[in-house]
Amino acid sequence: MMETRWAYLIHLLGWTLPIILFQLGMLVHHYKDRSGAVLRAVLPPAVIVGLYLAVADHLAITTGIWNFGDGLHLGVYLGVVPLEEVIFFLVTSVLVSLGLALFTGLVELLAKKPEARAP
C-alpha cells in the first residue's frame, strides 16, 4: 500500500486520466467538427456539479460526518476539503458527462443504421 502524502492524488489520476483521454479520443472521433461544441456543452455542467459536491463535502466535514486522515493527501485545502477530494469530484463529473455524450452519440449512430431499427 502506498503510504505517502501523494497517495490519493497518484491513485486518483492513475485511474481517471487514461479513461478521460480515451473518452476524449472517442468523442473527437465520433463528433469530429462538432467536438468543440459538445465539450463546451458538457464540461461546464460537469464543473458545476463537481463544485456542488465539494461544497456538500465541506458541509459533511465541518459537521463531523466524516474526515480525512493526515499524511495521505497533500495537505492543501479548499475550505476544509482536501484538494484531491475536489479534484475527485471534478474528474468524476467529467467522466460521467463525457460518458453521457458518448452514449448519446452511440444512440445517434444506432438510429441511423437501417438494421438497428425494429421492423
The total number of residues written for the chain in this structure: 119
The 10s digit of each residue's pLDDT in 72-115 is: 789 899 999 999 999 999 999 999 999 999 998 888 888 887 66
Q: Cite the DSSP H helix spans in the chain.
A: 7-31, 35-62, 83-112
Let me know: does 84 contact 74? Beta carbons within 8 Å. yes
Which cell numbers hold the place of 5? 502524502
The 10s digit of each residue's pLDDT in 27-78 is: 999 999 999 999 999 999 999 999 999 999 999 999 999 888 777 789 899 9
Comparing CA positions, the residue from 46, 47, 21 lying closest to residue 100 is 46
